[in-house]
Amino acid sequence: MSPRVAIVWSAEALADLTSIHEYIAKTSPRYAAVVAGRLVGAVGRLAQFPESGRIVPELGEPSVREVIHGSYRIVYEYRGERVEVLTVFRASRLFPGIGHRSPG
């Protein structure tokens, strides 16, 4: 069995998650909580299997991977002893420049 790694959410990823929750909550607070919870849960397996996400095709960098959950892409970087979730966005949107994103 592989050792577990820590999962850390960047400030940007937490802001993304909050924005997604707030947008959905305008019409359904209950569904917003479900979606946010599922997005957080979708990265849980990375503690045991940090390389299980696919390499982000737009970047081609083996350490930067993503988990697709429903219509969302959860981008993370595997850094040996930890996984850092970098951003969360709708798969229908263009890939954001990590660290260079405009709001929304």
CA 38 to chain centre: 11
**In sequence order, what are the residues at sequence separation of 6 or more whose Cβ sits closer than 8 angstroms to the Cβ of residue 97?**
none
- Sorted by where each begins, the domain ranges of the chain are 6-90
| Strands (DSSP E) found in the chain | 6-9, 54-55, 64-69, 72-78, 82-90
6-90 CATH, one of 3.30.70.270, 3.90.420.10, 3.30.310.80, 3.30.2310.20: 3.30.2310.20
pTM of the model: 0.85
Distance CA 14, CA 23 (A): 14
**In sequence order, what are the residues at sequence separation of 6 or more whose Cβ sits closer than 8 angstroms to the Cβ of residue 47?**
4, 5, 6, 7, 83
pLDDT digit string, tens, across residues 61-89: 999 999 999 999 999 999 888 999 999 99
Residue 2 pLDDT class (50, 70, 90 cuts): low
